[in-house]
Structure 1
């Protein structure tokens, strides 16, 4: 939406097409905060320290130039959101409050309780409605259109009425989110983050990077089944929540004695995983997260959504009792390769921002950086598109391509003897969770890859309706998931080391020779893996990277 605002304000004609209603995008589940080095509580913080934290915890394979742009522009982004009436929590002096997030040197996350994403999304929607930006909601984009070697639109299926819609445009911007629903336990809802944008780019031969880098958040709900994987925001630990095993031991002392619960997400996730695997977890295969020592008034002020979430799902009052948590698939660091300052992909007239892209977060994302990313690079991409539009003319829609794509979907209908796509989708998610999850090894990943090839040959049971057809949607999701999963596995097999969120028990060390990005090239005969050398880290960031991170402040709570 930030792209749309920038384009509209400069007289460009723009249409926002969404899979959900405009106030129900996945952004509402980004709860804890948005990073900006305002220095309101810790005067020593700066954009350079923010950038150093981002690269350090990204395993030093981030796009360093993009990181600099992100961190340098974050303060202006937060100020813009405040101007647009995002009601950030404030101190008595009127300045925005900032909280700790994992692996941050200083308190940097600006927040609205524990529903920051929703507050930001609502603000952006309000701004677009004020400008009368056009929306088309509940549309499943099935393919991008192209002619003369460039993208010129898309084909969408209106989920509610079963009609196909042809979108004709000069430029397409993918803001489709990530692919956390490749996994059984995920912080995403079942209909989102199924690799939609990855497939759309894959179909056109886009270039992908760091697909092996996938973040498992250390704290997701364990039960009931309908809530399994639901995010328990990092804000709980940022506000002082502690992790213990079934024996009451505060186990992070053993794994990360300096930063403890506020270590990087990959460190905490592996610690939780290990406690459960070695038999120190709860009966429900979790560990405990406890903030009950804080006053109830404080909890209701700082993390009201978490209080309600546990009360609603499991009737647990977190001001009195512990929460049960376990790792959950959360965020895709890998994705489409882009130039972040322009939003350009390797495909002409196709742009992308946010979680569908790769580069900013490297091997592990800092909590609070994703909301900053979509605002900052949304604005910059919008500015660049305005320059591009001056030299782009509409190209005629290829009607034969449209017919082929529509027939491809229609051929999925009316099959009574195929496999149940909803079940197969769950099977794929289980396969990835078991074999390509928090901890990885070659034997398991090769087994998963072999099984994926068998899924490619399946036909699915789908009736004749295009209207709200759950089996058709699941079949389309599987189509998106298969190349996404394959690129994750092939990249993870190729990287024979452990770095950030990618942990291999058969290659546990982090090696300098692997300080590079892994590229997935889509070719006629399949996926070809190559590597890309890293861009030089800017001097004004690198000098802060050489300093030892001051973690003493993390132990105050």
Structure 2
């Protein structure tokens, strides 16, 4: 196959066409600056969820009694002291404006009861209005860098294999996180495979808090094509209970006072313990039961869930329980960025959304996840515009382009006997077993040894381009991304010898005050500890009057 392909140029390239990428691209386009958005799938969200009817509206800044200082205090408290203070203050101050800006989009107002789906729809429609070019089948294999300065990206078309070289003054990574590394995840197939982490690190950036991954307790176990789809936490508020295979309401053992209404990470840990100790279902989950509730209560409070489970499993939740299990949902860590503009260690490279780190620390509030992408979508888009405008010349390197081209050519000629999909499954197994909901030193060390073995086998990979397209080639790059992201996660989890937020160590069950630091990782330097910025006195005073145990989880 000829490697001659498309040559494109733009001021700003956004890699990723989910909500965070679209918001950043819109900001650039509205500034009158040329922008291209590239992604390996059609624009949309990267996580799947069944809501109770509407996403909880606490996710929008609609509480008149909540000041931005109170919101900041709440976010910092829930982060278990690991969030970047400046990032939190940025979001807390700017989220009302970011939300109200969305109200200019008619489709958002129409669907605002379903906040996130309405947001995705509105952003896509606005991008279409602005005629932002979308390369929806482009798999980016490498960012183009010369002497620490970004100048574009290289990739191939997933259907016909044609190559793309996109020259750009600035690049914004918005490709999600790495939750697809676990066997059960709310991410769609092919999304959140750690691509953004690998691209950033290969370009010269670092990762921060890769060990911090949010596991939600209510992920569906079946059917296979919907496994990991999240059931809204509203099932607990409605009176849903969790049972093991003995019919016991096991949360009595773990939190007898709050039971299913305790923090989601505690529920996930309890479910994990029941499954590991042999009291789980045949499918490897536990039972979520609402059959004790009046039928009208379920139909009124959980109409979306009721209908969805009839469609997916032919299960009527007013009569029968449904299997659920802890599910990797959100990468709280990600690419190291500066809080003021989400720039990275590489000049001209920015990151936003789940790709970036800093805002959430050790725990992510459900409602803050969409607000993050709205606020920082605006900030990072404007930062990329300003960076491009400030350049006096355009960086180029034929050598960097040739290296990217040669990498793809070499893989296309690879005819080894190692199966890429089998190795991907091996990574998911080891991450689930060694770095899942509950971790310990021996398991993390064993996971790194298993990862070494997988990495050595990668030299014998075979790539088979079939009539259906170049998906097999994409799987190889997905595997590279998974291995790098897995190593960062395992090494960071090993270094964090404590239990804090979403990171639970059975061998270090308590919080270590000395580890109120971020774990920053690179393949050459390994893990280093970075101090967290101090909290302003007025915000700290508000935090002292709040209780993490009684705080709402949205």
TM tier relative to shorter chain: 0.7 to 0.9
In structure 1, how many angstroms separate the alpha carbons of the residues matched to 2:253 and 2:123? Answer: 43
Q: For residue 98 of structure 2, what is the aligned residue in structure 1?
A: 77
In 2, Cα distance between equivalents of 1:241 and 1:374 = 31
Where does residue 128 of structure 1 map in the other structure? Answer: 127
Determine whether 1:255 maps to 2:276: no
Q: CA deviation at 1:536?
A: 0.9
**1:396 deviation in Å?**
4.4
Q: What is the rounded CA distance, in whole Å, between the counterparts of 1:28 and 1:391 in structure 2?
A: 40
**Which has the larger displacement, 267-276 or 312-321?**
312-321
Q: How does 1:51-70 map to 2 (within 5 A)?
A: 51-70=72-91
Contact 1:30 1:118 in 2 (8 A): no
2:348 and 2:384 in contact (8 A); partners too: no
Q: Which residue of 1 aligns with 2:445?
A: 446
- CA shift, 1:162, in A, is 0.8
Shift in Å, 1:431: 1.1
Q: Is the 8 A contact 1:147 1:397 kept in 2?
A: yes
Change (3 A) 1:296 1:164: farther
String of CA shifts for 1:483-504, please: whole Å, max 9, x gaps.
1111101111111111111111
Partner secondary structure for residue 231 of structure 2: coil
Secondary structure of the corresponding residue to residue 188 of structure 1:
coil
Q: Is the Cα contact below 8 Å between 1:195 and 1:480 reproduced in 2? A: yes
**SS of 2:412's equivalent?**
coil
Q: Secondary structure in 1 aligned to 2:411?
A: coil
More displaced 10-residue stretch of structure 1: 343-352 or 117-126: 117-126
CA distance in structure 2 between the partners assigned to 1:352 and 1:466 by the alignment: 35
Q: CA offset at residue 18 of structure 1? A: 1.4
Deviates more, 1:151-160 or 1:304-313: 304-313
Report if the CA contact (8 A) 1:39-1:46 is conserved. no
Change (3 A) 1:386 1:474: closer
TM-score, normalization by structure 2: 0.88
How many angstroms apart in 1 are the aligned matches of 2:336 and 2:291?
43
Indicate the residue corresponding to 1:172 in structure 2: 171
SS in 2 for 1:270: helix
Name which of structure 1's ranges 225-234 and 265-274 shifts more when overlaid on structure 2: 225-234
The aligned runs of 1:263-282 (5 Å cut-off) are: 263-282=262-281
- What does residue 30 of structure 2 align with? 9
- Three-state SS of the structure 1 residue aligned to 2:201 is helix
Q: Distance in 2 between matches of 1:161 and 1:305?
A: 39
Tell me the secondary structure at the aligned position of residue 171 of structure 1. strand
Post-superposition offset of 1:302: 5.8
Counterpart of 1:363 in structure 2 is 362
Shift of 1:253: 4.3
Cα separation, 2, equivalents of 1:465 and 1:344: 39
Once the two structures are superposed, residues 299-326 of structure 1 have per-residue CA deviations (whole angstroms, 9 ceiling, x without a partner) of 5676554334322221112244322211
Give the secondary-structure state (helix, strand or coil) at the position aligned to 1:345. Answer: coil
Q: Given the alignment, which residue of 545, 548, 554 partners 2:543? A: 545
Residue 502, structure 1, aligned to residue 518, structure 2: no
User: Residues 380-427 of structure 1, C-alpha deviation per residue, up to 9 Å, x if partnerless?
Assistant: 112223332221245243222212211211211243432110111111
- The secondary structure found in structure 2 opposite 1:155 is strand
1:473–1:282 Cα change, 3 Å: same
The question of whether the paired residues in 2 share the 8 Å contact of 1:34 and 1:369 is answered with no
Residue 530 of structure 2 is matched in structure 1 by 532
Cα distance in 1 for partners of 2:330, 2:304 equals 20
SS of residue matched to 1:389: helix
Q: CA deviation at 1:332?
A: 0.8
Task: Give the direction of change, closer, same or farther, for the CA distance of 1:138–1:533 in structure 2 (3 Å limit).
Answer: same
* 2:472 corresponding residue in structure 1: 471
**Per-residue deviation at 1:120?**
1.1
1:532 aligned counterpart, secondary structure:
strand
Q: 2:350 — aligned with what?
A: 351
2:219 maps to which residue? 220
Shifted more, 402-411 versus 177-186: the winner is 402-411
Answer yes or no: is the 8 Å Cα contact 1:208–1:334 preserved in 2. Answer: yes
Q: TM-score, with normalisation over the residues of structure 1? A: 0.88
Q: In 2 relative to 1, CA 45–260 (structure 1 residues): closer, same or farther, beyond 3 Å?
A: farther
Deviation at 1:241, TM superposition (A): 3.4
Distance in 2, matches of 1:551 and 1:403, equals: 55
Question: Which deviates the most, 119-128 or 80-89?
Answer: 80-89
Moved more, 237-246 or 155-164: 237-246
Q: Which secondary structure does the structure 2 equivalent of 1:169 belong to?
A: strand
Deviates more, 1:384-393 or 1:461-470: 461-470
What is residue 3 of structure 2 aligned with on the other side? none
Tell me the alpha carbon deviations over residues 263-286 of structure 1, each in whole angstroms, 9 at most, x when there is no partner.
333222112112223344333332
State the Cα deviation string for residues 163-184 of structure 1 (Å, max 9, x = none). Answer: 0111111000000101011111
C-alpha distance after superposition, 1:433-465 (max 9, x if no partner): 111111111111111111211222222121256
The answer to which of 117-126 and 541-550 deviates more is 541-550
Aligned position for 1:48: 69
Instruction: State how far apart, in whole Å, the 1-side matches of 2:255 and 2:74 are.
Output: 17
Which residue does the alignment assign to 2:19?
Answer: none
- The alignment status of 1:210 with 2:209, answered yes or no, reads yes
Query: How many angstroms apart in 2 are the aligned matches of 1:81 and 1:499?
Result: 35
Q: CA RMSD in A?
A: 2.7
Quote how far apart the aligned CAs of 1:222 are.
Answer: 1.4
Q: What CA distance in whole angstroms lies between the structure 2 residues aligned with 1:519 and 1:34?
A: 34
Map 1:422-461 onto structure 2 (within 5 A).
422-458=421-457, 459-461=460-462
1:121 to 1:28, Cα distance in 2 relative to 1, 3 A: farther
Q: Contact 1:213–1:332 (CA<8 Å) still a contact in 2?
A: yes
Residues 454/27 of structure 1: CA separation in 2 closer, same or farther (3 Å cut): closer
Question: Any unmatched runs of 5+ in structure 1?
Answer: 91-110
Seen in structure 2, the aligned counterparts of structure 1 residues 17 and 233 have a Cα distance that, compared at 3 Å, is same
